[in-house]
Amino acid sequence: MKKFGKLLICLGLSASFIFTGCSLVQRNTERYLNREVASLGEISISKQELISAYNSYGYQYTQYYGYTAEKALKTVIDNLINRKIVLNKAKESLKFEDDGTVSYVENGTKVATLYNKNVWYNEIWTDVFESVNSQIKNYEDSIKKANGQSTEAETEEEAKPAFNPYSEYEKKVVYENETWSKVVDEIAEAQEDRMTIANFVQNKTGDDEISLRAFGRYIKNLEHNYKALNLTVDSLKTVSKEEFNELYKGLQLTDSQKVVFLYELERIYTIYEENKIIEDFQDVYNQYMQKVDADVNKKIVDYYKELVENSYEKYAVETNADGYTAYVKAMQNDSSKVYYHKDYGTNDKGEKKAFVAVSHVLIKLSDEQISELKELKSQRDSSTITAEEYDEKYQQVLDKTVVKVRDEDGFETDETKTVAEVRAEIEADLAQYTTVEEKAVAFNKYIYKYGQDTGMINASKYYVVNTDTEVEDKMVKEFADEARRLAVENEDGGNLGEAVLHVDLENENGYSGYHIIFNAGIVKNDLTIEQVRNMEGTEADALYLYNKKIMLGTNKTVYDYIYDTIYASEYSTFEKSIINTAKDNAEVVYYVSAYSDLY
């Protein structure tokens, strides 16, 4: 992949963004990389930072967006300056106490404790050491593969859950005791010991020799990457000469090797620290700066009204002759983006011109079953077996269909159940409940216990099926027909379908399996357009959206969705205002001659 042409092809980007061994660079590499390429007041961007960022993401501007190298470099410089502006502002909002706590402050006054004693530092160092161990693991895997051994990655793959477990939406706003409030993250308990640069421990592979060789290769790579910098103990920012002598005596490192290792730990720590500061600043804005009041709720209600009005204009106005066609296309493309559902009446067959919302548990046939069915088909087509024999053996293969029961973490157990047993279990459970929502919540559990359709795992919208058969189906016929039958049986939903089978032996990307479908009801409005238009942003209006689920059986509501959307744009606006204010008070100076050799 071309990035900086001949210069960087020769140099090559290392993990630490330092370059060595290039015949084209006959200069003091450290001085070369430390050259200032741009500044804004006290903010300075070095050539090393520019090259690192360009190779991380900046090259995409030229590769995918048609930028010239000069324009791409300038864009990366602007991004780096903007990040430092936000970082500096974020630091003003965080106070690091001597006892290891971190607080959010406004105008010098403490507002809240964000991290109890030592938690902040320990989280960063944990990430740093995990990052280093991840790099060492790559060397371990390389050695193991060369020895013909299985790697830890392969065993980790085996340990992953078959499907993701249920993940509840994390609400940002709650309404309790007639009060709206932000959800503030619980903070971890104080930790007596503070981790430092001295606490790295290499993860062991179970083979001490391989672990030692892998660490040795990692250190040699660091030595190669940092060779041109001529690092010494004085190059370290957090380690004194006295401390240096006592650190990592058991790793059998030379002094020069220990220097590059500590230098790398410091470098990674700085990256994680800056990322954490900015992330915490965004959390602070969300949980403390951005208040939930009548104005915020009115914004949410107004946003909802706009969504509904837009859908009404596109699909429901009387003058729009293509409204139904557009509605069908939008629903089949992404039903979650349609906020108004006109009653279009029925087609010539008497079928409702509407959509039914459904979820389902899919139990797939095994690869072995698919192979057997293909062989049976081949035998029938070649007249090796009769049609009657084919039907009998076909059913015998289907009768072997079972699914492994999964635990709440998504891991398969040794227990298996047949399709009939799964459906009977679901039916018995749903029979305990009265409302459609109660039944939807109950059904949702079985998606995670048995379901094998990844599209239903932690979904935020139902599948929708056209009840109008004059519309081309987007779902497989067996699924669509059963969904329509359920809609006719109960328009309001809550009923459970029979296990319907779909078999596809022709398409490589097709699937075969049984669908157990839950009917969530015909998709329709619960308010008229006049009622929506009359919403004024009152607390009652906000509560309506707060309680309106985007999908029955889940805890996320329309209020949550709109709040997340507004919050994202609000924070973006807030961040831009910080950047614009800084640039209004000082001018960005680009030292083009310092980086013009890169394009």
Going by pLDDT thresholds of 50, 70 and 90, the confidence category of residue 152 is: low
| Placement of tokens 């189906």 in the chain | 473
* Phi then psi dihedrals of residue 379, to 5 deg: -65, -40
Q: How far apart are the C-alpha atoms of 250 and 439, rounded to whole Å? A: 61
Which pLDDT does position 570 carry in this prediction? 85
Tell me which residue of 396, 391, 364, 398 sits closest to 377, measured CA to CA: 391
* 423 token code pair: 């459906």
Q: Which of 34-43, 336-345, 564-573 has the lowest mean pLDDT?
A: 564-573
Q: How far apart are the C-alpha atoms of 366 and 364, rounded to whole Å? A: 6
Total Cβ atoms within 10 A of residue 181 = 12
Checking if the pLDDT of 24 tops 80, the result is no
DSSP string spanning 273-286? HHHHHHHHHHHHII
Q: Has this prediction a pTM greater than 0.75?
A: yes
Which pLDDT does position 158 carry in this prediction? 54
Which pLDDT does position 509 carry in this prediction? 82
Total Cβ atoms within 10 A of residue 17 = 16
Give, in degrees to the nearest 5, the angle at Cα 65 between 62 and 71. 50
Q: What is the residue type of 6? A: K
Cα separations in angstroms, 494 against 122, 157, 360, 458, 515: 49, 38, 12, 20, 16
* Phi then psi dihedrals of residue 107, to 5 deg: 50, 40
Tell me which residue of 542, 55, 15, 555 sits closest to 303, measured CA to CA: 542
* Residue ranges of domains in the chain, CATH in brackets: 1-92+565-599 (no CATH), 112-289 (no CATH), 354-365+401-523 (3.10.50)
Checking if the pLDDT of 3 tops 60, the result is no
Which pLDDT does position 9 carry in this prediction? 28
Instruction: Please say whether the dihedral angle defined by the alpha carbons of residues 351, 352, 354 and 356, taken in this order, is positive or negative.
Output: negative
Q: How far apart are the C-alpha atoms of 568 and 565, rounded to whole Å? A: 5
* 553 token code pair: 């059986």
Report yes or no: 399 and 548 within 8 Å, Cβ to Cβ.
no
Total Cβ atoms within 10 A of residue 364 = 17
Q: How far apart are the C-alpha atoms of 370 and 505, rounded to whole Å? A: 7
Sheet-wide strand order for 589-590: 43-46, 36-40, 589-590
Query: What's the pLDDT tens digit per position in 386-418?
Result: 999 999 999 999 999 999 999 999 999 999 999
Cα separations in angstroms, 45 against 57, 344, 595: 17, 61, 11
Strand partners, 44: 39
Over residues 277-296, the mean pLDDT reads 90
Which pLDDT does position 204 carry in this prediction? 80
Write down the mean pLDDT value for the chain.
91
**What percent of the chain shows pLDDT beyond 90?**
82
Report yes or no: 223 and 257 within 8 Å, Cβ to Cβ.
yes
Strand partners, 29: none
